[in-house]
Structure 1
Amino acid sequence: MSQHLIAISVLGLMFVVATVLPVNMGALAFVGAFLVGTWVAAMPAKTILAGFPADLFLTLVGITYLFAVAQNNGTIDWLVRLAVRAVGGRIAAIPWIMFLIAALLTSVGAVSPAAVAIIAPIALGFAARYGINPLLMGLMVIHGAQGGGFSPISIYGGITNKIVQKAGLPLSEMATAFASFGVNLAVAAGLFVAFGGLRLMRQSATSTQPAAAPQAAGGALAMPHPFGACTVAAQGAQIYGDAEAEAGTEEHKTMTRDRGSMLEGGSDAAGSAASSPETPAGLYQYLTVAGLVALAVLTLYFKLDIGFVSLTIALALTLIAPELQKRALGQVSWPEIMLIVGVSTFVGVMDKMGTIDFVGHSVANLTSPLMAALLLCFVGAVVSAFASSTAVLGSLIPLAVPFLQQGSDVSAIGFIAAMAVSSTIVDVSPFSTNGALVLANAQGVDRQAFFRKLMVYGALITIIAPVVLWFAFVVL
């Protein structure tokens, strides 16, 4: 058996073990990277560790830390109340607002994970407060971000158009942009209907008890009442384990002592600011919102690293009220981060071994251009579900150039659209940055159950989307 087949087999085995047993797949992936890298590919530890996604790690830690701080001081709940008033209490409009804002951010140049990192915590906070299926809300944000991702001035669009231009292939910037937005919009509409959106249309914020959790429609993928088997009272952006409960008890004492703090202008402590719908915002909430705005400006306009910026803002807010925020770092979703960076490290080892290129070239060398186009869409979807969509676009599109230039029946414009959307729509996977951010910020859910539902949905999208897109944009 070749080293490439061994690496692929180990990856499949990790999926089986993590599905059957309650074992963190990140730990399995780190061990798999070590064993495959050392014994199969003869890599030194330094080379294996070079695949560790430091930027992704910092992004997840920084964002979840910052929004834990924002949740603890009541800012998220305050923003949720503002959103309810802005839409006149029509709760059903909120998922679509989140979809459109995320699409707008990526269409004007934001990296997709940056848009999701900014929008998802607020959207999921709203979902937890008003009984919206968190899976629906999280997926609406991700599909919105992916829908706007191929405008001519976006990151994905710019990369794809440059690759196509360099290869001398026919280029239609707007075709890919409209294909991406149209497909993600259609998927979002289906999710809205399947996961309880029609029920939301009959509700308003005034008729919905905050933090209620009615049964959502949607069959196997719908979150069961009340969105998981082991829900707990919301205590921040991330909730898990006995240690978190113990820290929450200690913070409650701190918050009781801090009532009437000058930062809140005489109102209740920030962490309980959302306990009453009428509680006004205080200075700390305004400073937190200023920090969130600064995060958006510094990352989207000045292109600064979102991980470093979010950590800096979170630390500044913590220094303002250190006693209130003493448990915020404990609310970072460390198990989910372990999972994501572990799998990414293993995929990095596979990439250095040449396994990714091996699969891509094996597909591209097929005699049938139509079948090659389908399999390349599949490879793009599968690899992108675990790795960088940008890297997939940059590596797989060039593999299709030979048969696209041979005057085959495959339309270059149609194939590029199918390939581009196939490689990005799968970012709902919990192993991708977008999926990881949604998983890390979901509130009041059974983490393991929510992870499985994201994984099932991601698997369905990975299997179905390439076929549908291939048939719609290449065959027809």
Structure 2
Amino acid sequence: MNLAVISLVLLLAAIVIGFVRNVNVGILSIGFAMILTLLFPDTLSTKDVVSGFSTSLFVQMVGVTYLFAIINGNGTLELLAKKIVNKVPARMIPFVMFLIGMVLSAVGPGSIPCLAIIPVIAIPISISAGINPIMTAIIGDMGAMAGRMSPLTPEAAVVRGLMEEQNLNGNTVPIMICTIVTTLICAALVYIYYRGWKVEKPMQADEKEVLPKFTWQQMASIAGLLLLAFGVLVLSWNVGLTGFLIGSVLCILGCGKEKKAIAGVPWNVIIMVLGVGILMNVISLSGGVDLLVSALEKVMGEKSAAPVIALLAGIMSFFSSGLGVVFPTLVPICGGLASGIGADGVYLVAMVVIGGTIAGYTPISTTGALIMAGVAQQKDSEERFPQNKMFLELFAVSFINLAVLAVMAMTGVYKFFI
């Protein structure tokens, strides 16, 4: 076998081993890239491998997540969300959580930290309001996923870079709109399934949680968020460098602790993204991407490409990270595949992003596991929300979401937005 074939096999091996043995796929990918330099010293050098490390992506991801580790650490995001939810009727709480999740995700951190924050807020609020906490957590997390392709997020930086490498338009806003539309439809189906309009025990006015006022540190953190959004969207500042600057100022002012913030950066995800990117660069240099595109061209046509690649991305995300594995693996093939079968490359990228996003509710995914863990911590949870039933429901949500995506892709609905 040649370098292209072996590199593709090693990428597949990294994904499978990472899932089965619960180890970081990015670290495996870097190790496998090193093995390739030993097997093909005349074709591939260590310099070629190292060149696949994206310093700009590293700065963007670390800068933004560092800032939000500070803001999350001082309780700003949780208190802000609770203040908003506290003022709405119980029946509307799931959709308010959707909006909160989308806004929090879109203003900078992306979906990864928000997927952990939302269930922590949504589950206890739902139980006290007399509505289903599983439903509220799922819909809230759908909101977090809806905002992940905002131009401010690390996820958008990953996808934008991969698109621009293929000479595709790197604007992720149309993809974000498609994701929002999809998640809204899926959230509505979840709301109907759980009969979200039924309230078991309406919350009385005097039962509502009395929330404290924002501290000056939290007010400064909110001001920092607004400055980040204004600087990046209006003044075209680099989102990563801006995150470092604002985060440093907040630490100097005493709004956060630097060591705690650094520990709060999702290093495992960052290493996963950059590590898979290194191996994908080797695959690209060796002709592996062209080989994969040629294979897919034989089984796809112009009309079938979108739903097939969406389902492929969704199935991959059952077992691996959308940001860390699915996007770096499938987005790089979209440009070549589109030109080969006469499809729209940006449209195919959107299918990868949405498929790799909305299918992540299985209990074996981080999102699904966090929801199950959050519900299990509540009083009488085993009687009211049996674990086996919840396990099946979360799998069902992922499959229903994928079915919605496939139908929308086949009918060409997304072409109205791209």
Tell me the TM-score normalised to structure 1 length: 0.58
Match of 1:409 in 2: none
Match of 2:146 in 1: 143
Match of 2:56 in 1: 55
Residue 63 of structure 2 contacts residue 241 of structure 2 at CA under 8 Å; is this kept in 1? yes
Match of 1:422 in 2: 351
Match of 2:75 in 1: 74
- Distance in 1 (CA, whole Å) between partners of 2:211 and 2:138 is 29
Residue 92 of structure 1 contacts residue 201 of structure 1 at CA under 8 Å; is this kept in 2? no
CA distance change for structure 1 residues 31 and 164 in 2, over 3 Å: closer, same or farther?
Answer: closer
Amino acid at match of 2:231: L
CA distance change for structure 1 residues 52 and 445 in 2, over 3 Å: closer, same or farther?
Answer: farther
Give the stretch that moved more between structures: 49-58 or 462-471.
462-471
Tell me the TM-score normalised to structure 2 length: 0.65
Give the stretch that moved more between structures: 20-29 or 287-296.
20-29
CA distance change for structure 1 residues 310 and 100 in 2, over 3 Å: closer, same or farther?
Answer: closer
Match of 2:187 in 1: 188
RMSD: 5.2
- Distance in 2 (CA, whole Å) between partners of 1:61 and 1:392 is 23
Residue 66 of structure 2 contacts residue 244 of structure 2 at CA under 8 Å; is this kept in 1? yes
Match of 1:8 in 2: 8
Displacement of 1:330:
1.9
Residue 101 of structure 2 contacts residue 118 of structure 2 at CA under 8 Å; is this kept in 1? no
Match of 1:64 in 2: 65
Task: Summarize deviations over 1:245-277 as a string: whole Å, max 9, x none.
Answer: xxxxxxxxxxxxxxxxxxxxxxxxxxxxxxx84
- Distance in 2 (CA, whole Å) between partners of 1:316 and 1:183 is 38
Displacement of 1:13:
1.7
Displacement of 1:43:
2.1
Match of 1:352 in 2: 285
- Distance in 2 (CA, whole Å) between partners of 1:209 and 1:357 is 62
CA distance change for structure 1 residues 71 and 147 in 2, over 3 Å: closer, same or farther?
Answer: closer
Match of 2:121 in 1: 126
Residue 33 of structure 2 contacts residue 49 of structure 2 at CA under 8 Å; is this kept in 1? yes
- Distance in 1 (CA, whole Å) between partners of 2:278 and 2:269 is 14
Task: Summarize deviations over 1:402-432 as a string: whole Å, max 9, x none.
Answer: 654xxxxxxx6xx77963541220342899x
Query: Residue 321 of structure 1 is aligned with which of 249, 254, 262?
Result: 254
- Distance in 1 (CA, whole Å) between partners of 2:30 and 2:218 is 40
Displacement of 1:197:
7.8
- Distance in 2 (CA, whole Å) between partners of 1:130 and 1:426 is 30
Query: Residue 295 of structure 1 is aligned with which of 228, 233, 250?
Result: 228
Displacement of 1:317:
0.8
Verify: 1:94 aligned to 2:89, yes or no: no
- Distance in 1 (CA, whole Å) between partners of 2:150 and 2:396 is 17
Residue 147 of structure 2 contacts residue 176 of structure 2 at CA under 8 Å; is this kept in 1? no
- Distance in 2 (CA, whole Å) between partners of 1:198 and 1:468 is 25
Amino acid at match of 2:196: L
CA distance change for structure 1 residues 310 and 186 in 2, over 3 Å: closer, same or farther?
Answer: same
Match of 1:283 in 2: 216
Amino acid at match of 1:138: D
Task: Summarize deviations over 1:452-475 as a string: whole Å, max 9, x none.
Answer: 99x98999699767754554339x
Task: Summarize deviations over 1:373-411 as a string: whole Å, max 9, x none.
Answer: 76566678779865796997786356444654xxxxxxx
Larger radius of gyration: 1
Residue 307 of structure 2 contacts residue 405 of structure 2 at CA under 8 Å; is this kept in 1? yes
- Distance in 2 (CA, whole Å) between partners of 1:18 and 1:393 is 20
Residue 67 of structure 2 contacts residue 244 of structure 2 at CA under 8 Å; is this kept in 1? yes
- Distance in 2 (CA, whole Å) between partners of 1:53 and 1:458 is 35
- Distance in 2 (CA, whole Å) between partners of 1:40 and 1:379 is 31
Residue 148 of structure 2 contacts residue 176 of structure 2 at CA under 8 Å; is this kept in 1? no
Match of 1:362 in 2: 295
Amino acid at match of 1:48: V
Task: Summarize deviations over 1:252-306 as a string: whole Å, max 9, x none.
Answer: xxxxxxxxxxxxxxxxxxxxxxxx8442222211111100111111122223222
Match of 1:27 in 2: 27
3-state DSSP class of the match of 1:328? Answer: helix
CA distance change for structure 1 residues 122 and 82 in 2, over 3 Å: closer, same or farther?
Answer: farther
- Distance in 1 (CA, whole Å) between partners of 2:371 and 2:58 is 18
Amino acid at match of 2:70: V
The 5 A counterparts of 1:55-454 are: 55-88=56-89, 90-98=92-100, 101=103, 116=111, 123=118, 126-127=121-122, 130=125, 132=133, 136-145=139-148, 181-192=180-191, 198=196, 277-321=210-254, 324-364=257-297, 396-397=334-335, 399-401=337-339, 403-404=341-342, 419-428=348-357
- Between structures 1 and 2, the one with greater helix share: 2
Residue 429 of structure 1 contacts residue 458 of structure 1 at CA under 8 Å; is this kept in 2? no
Task: Summarize deviations over 1:25-65 as a string: whole Å, max 9, x none.
Answer: 22212201222355247322222122123333333322332
Unaligned runs of 5+ in 1: 150-154, 166-172, 211-275, 405-411, 447-451
CA distance change for structure 1 residues 366 and 17 in 2, over 3 Å: closer, same or farther?
Answer: closer
Residue 130 of structure 1 contacts residue 208 of structure 1 at CA under 8 Å; is this kept in 2? no
Residue 306 of structure 2 contacts residue 351 of structure 2 at CA under 8 Å; is this kept in 1? no
Displacement of 1:138:
2.9
Give the stretch that moved more between structures: 21-30 or 383-392.
383-392
Amino acid at match of 2:187: A
Unaligned runs of 5+ in 2: 127-132, 153-158, 376-390, 414-418
Residue 149 of structure 2 contacts residue 176 of structure 2 at CA under 8 Å; is this kept in 1? no
Give the stretch that moved more between structures: 32-41 or 292-301.
32-41
Task: Summarize deviations over 1:88-120 as a string: whole Å, max 9, x none.
Answer: 5653232332366479x6xxxx9xx76658976
Amino acid at match of 1:315: S
Amino acid at match of 2:23: V
Match of 1:237 in 2: none
